[in-house]
Amino acid sequence: MAPVWGYAQQHADSAGSKVLKDAVIKGKHRNNTKDPAIDFAPGQKVTRIDSITLQQYQAQSVATLLSQQVPVFVKSYGFNGLATLNFRGSSAAQSQVYWNGVPLQNAALGMTDVSTLPVMFMNNVSIVYGGSGALLGSGNVGGAVLIEPEDVSYTNHKYLALSGGLGSFGQYSAGIDASVTSRRWHLSFKGLYQYADNNFLYKDHYGNSLQMPNSKLQGAGGLAYIARVIRHGNGRIDGRVWVQQYDRQIPPALFETVSVKWQHDGALRAQLTLVPGANDKYMVGATASIIKDEIVYADDALLLNTRNAVYQYYQQVSVERRYGKWGKHRFKAFSPLQIAWMRMPLTELLKAQNKAAIAAAYEGKYLDSRLDVAASARLEAFDSASIIAKGQWFLLPGANAAYKLLPWLAVRVNVQRSYRVPTLNELYYYPGGNTALKPEQGWSQDAGYNVQFAKGACSVYHDVSVFNRNINDWIIWLGGAVWTPHNIAAVHSRGVETENKLTYTTGKWKLHLGVNTAYVLATTTKSYLYNDGSVGKQIPYSPRYNGQLNAGFTYKRLYVNYNHTYTGYRFTTADESAWLSPYTTGNVQAMYTAYVKKHALQLTAQCNNIWNERYTVVLGRPMPGINFLAGFKAEIL
């Protein structure tokens, strides 16, 4: 019997913002992110997705948002399939997603399916480039996506908005966004329903045009949030519950004649947080969260039906102290605890993995606040059998700094140690788990500079990052009838990223042009396997080149953008003997906001893959040609 579909794919290759009056073009976000850990990393490259971009993708997933807007490779298994992240040549298990500081990756698989994360539920999204193990925890090797808390103004206010969308291939969606706020209370709810036939036309290996069969998707979810100010304007208690489920048919790959497979993805996420007051001498915070992830995979042709349910409990207590004039020095200590458990499919054996750590971080500003220096360290332990046998605790240090050379020029540097222990499935999955696996570990370094200035009606932003990462005992799945994870000794990742943006304002017009690029070399440098052909070769499904262009304008209440993406060769084998060709896609987005008796009506339209490019992101999984999506969001209150 085979493992669940999402997991099998991993083997094969190794919430909405309120309607805004103003259009804000995407900008840099550094050292003021709401995540308390990254707030202590001034030398880390962090980019925040702006509110108008999030509004444009309200009816879509994080997978679509990131693939079109950020130089991060999103590995998609089709229009409604699994999608995982690849930061700077990392594996899916080395790239993480955090919801208000809580890791969202499936504790058994060690990865997050970003195709099941709706943008509508997200008010603030930040992208962290590079590892940050000391602050975010072991497993954060390549980078991270932060889903951050929403901004709430505690005044008497009521809000209600309804949204909907229609698109190609039988797509439609409906949503609700409601909130009530007083001086001490805030209650809100976001709900979303989605359906799609996904019966787009594609071409088989012989050039015949076919309609994609067995590809329907249906999903629904809700996010409830309640907050209580415990001292007026200074500290509060937050409670959140996020429930969702996706039911999707799995269409046949190009090498299959038929498919009657389907998959159910369900998630229940609950979180309770004590948010410290900004004016407290000692800022004490705490978070507790419990998450249940469930995947049911079935293949009716084989009478196969497997269920994979994993539970995760996470808590963290922190204390922060600011001192010195204007709080130029900060110190924070925190103690995260993570417990994950599941009954393994087929064997029904209960397996658990616990992580406990103590960590500390310091940040200080010097030389009239032009120099921002930070250092952090985390002492973490696991109770996995492969580590307990050795009695290992491990230390994750990190240090970074940013220096403002000139009012318009700043430089940064960052050094981190990375460590990732095998996941529950990598250790215990039956058949195929490997309890002899070693943890992945290594060091990463990155440095960069950014230029930012405005002159008259023109503003310029330019950022360059260079990075280097060496990871030993990299884990990859190999095999035929039964896939098994192995350590492949060492992988060296290095490269360059650029981010460029130009805006020009004249009268009621605002023009924007942005170009993001990434060049990544991620190669195997050593191997435990005899005569391994992967040495010196690029890691499978790690494109060397990746980039996006955004060009458009804002005129009064109209926003128009053209997005162009390029993704380079992806090798599908470890020895580079087979590959997928590069592809480009063009996407057009438009948004218009009208006001009727002070109530906003926002209209959006998108045309994706406007040049009707025929391409696959993953071998055998064709993507759709030109397609359309239109939507609205209407304020009722």
Q: How confident is the model over 35-79, as pLDDT tens digits?
A: 655 789 999 999 999 888 998 898 899 999 999 999 999 999 987
pLDDT number for residue 347:
78
Cβ within 8 Å of residue 306, ≥6 positions away: 1, 2, 3, 4, 296, 297, 298, 345, 346
How many residues are present in the chain?
637
SS (H, E, C) 217-273: EEEEEEEEEEEEECCCCCCEEEEEEEEEEEEEEECCCCCCCCCCEEEEEEEEEEEEE
Please report which confidence band the pLDDT of residue 29 belongs to, taking 50, 70 and 90 as the band edges: very low
Look at residue 371 and tell me whether its pLDDT is greater than 60: yes
pLDDT number for residue 637:
86
CA dist., res. 79 & res. 379, Å (int): 41
CA dist., res. 434 & res. 372, Å (int): 44
Tell me the average pLDDT across 425-451.
92
Cβ atoms of 81 and 43 within 8 Å: the answer is no
The torsion angle over the Cα atoms of residues 64, 70, 75 and 79, rounded to 10 degrees, is 20
pLDDT number for residue 7:
34
Rg (CA), the chain: 24
- Give Cα separations from 206 to 203, 209, 254, 615 (angstroms): 8, 9, 10, 15
User: Rounded mean pLDDT of the chain?
Assistant: 89
CA dist., res. 476 & res. 484, Å (int): 8
Tell me the average pLDDT across 509-520.
97
**Percent of the chain residues topping a pLDDT of 90:** 71
pLDDT number for residue 24:
33
Tokens matching residue 604: 């959006």
Q: How confident is the model over 46-58, as pLDDT tens digits?
A: 999 988 899 889 8
Could you give the 3-state DSSP secondary structure of residue 340? strand
Cβ atoms of 491 and 474 within 8 Å: the answer is yes
Cβ within 8 Å of residue 625, ≥6 positions away: 200, 201, 202, 609, 612, 613, 614
Nearest of 276, 187, 287, 273 to residue 237 by alpha carbon: 273
Cβ atoms of 273 and 236 within 8 Å: the answer is no
DSSP 350-414: EEEEEEEEEEEEEEEEETTTTEEEEEEEEEEEE--HHHHTTT-EEEEEEEEEEEEEETTEEEEEE
- Give Cα separations from 228 to 149, 232, 234, 238 (angstroms): 14, 10, 11, 7
Tell me the average pLDDT across 349-360.
92
Cβ within 8 Å of residue 412, ≥6 positions away: 42, 43, 44, 45, 400, 401, 402, 403, 447, 448, 449, 450
Tell me the average pLDDT across 456-479.
94
pTM here is 0.91
Q: How confident is the model over 92-118, as pLDDT tens digits?
A: 999 999 999 999 999 888 999 999 999
Long-range contacts of 507-511 (CB under 8 A, 24+ apart): 508/555, 508/556, 509/553, 509/554, 509/555, 510/23, 510/25, 510/553, 510/554, 510/555, 511/552, 511/553
Look at residue 324 and tell me whether its pLDDT is greater than 90: no
Please report which confidence band the pLDDT of residue 211 belongs to, taking 50, 70 and 90 as the band edges: very high
CA dist., res. 442 & res. 491, Å (int): 10
Cβ within 8 Å of residue 540, ≥6 positions away: 13, 14, 570, 571, 572, 573, 574
Tell me the average pLDDT across 225-254.
90
SS (H, E, C) 135-148: HHCCCCCCEEEEEE
Look at residue 356 and tell me whether its pLDDT is greater than 50: yes
Could you give the 3-state DSSP secondary structure of residue 465? strand
Look at residue 510 and tell me whether its pLDDT is greater than 50: yes
Cβ atoms of 554 and 28 within 8 Å: the answer is no
Tokens matching residue 126: 């930040």
Tell me the average pLDDT across 276-293.
88
Cβ within 8 Å of residue 349, ≥6 positions away: 343, 428
CA dist., res. 357 & res. 428, Å (int): 24
Q: How confident is the model over 132-180, as pLDDT tens digits?
A: 999 999 889 999 999 987 778 888 889 999 999 999 999 999 999 999 9
pLDDT number for residue 532:
84
pLDDT number for residue 361:
96
Cβ atoms of 206 and 196 within 8 Å: the answer is no
Q: How confident is the model over 525-552, as pLDDT tens digits?
A: 999 888 888 999 999 999 999 999 999 9
CA dist., res. 493 & res. 476, Å (int): 15
pLDDT number for residue 37:
56
CATH architecture of 5-635: Beta Barrel (2.40)
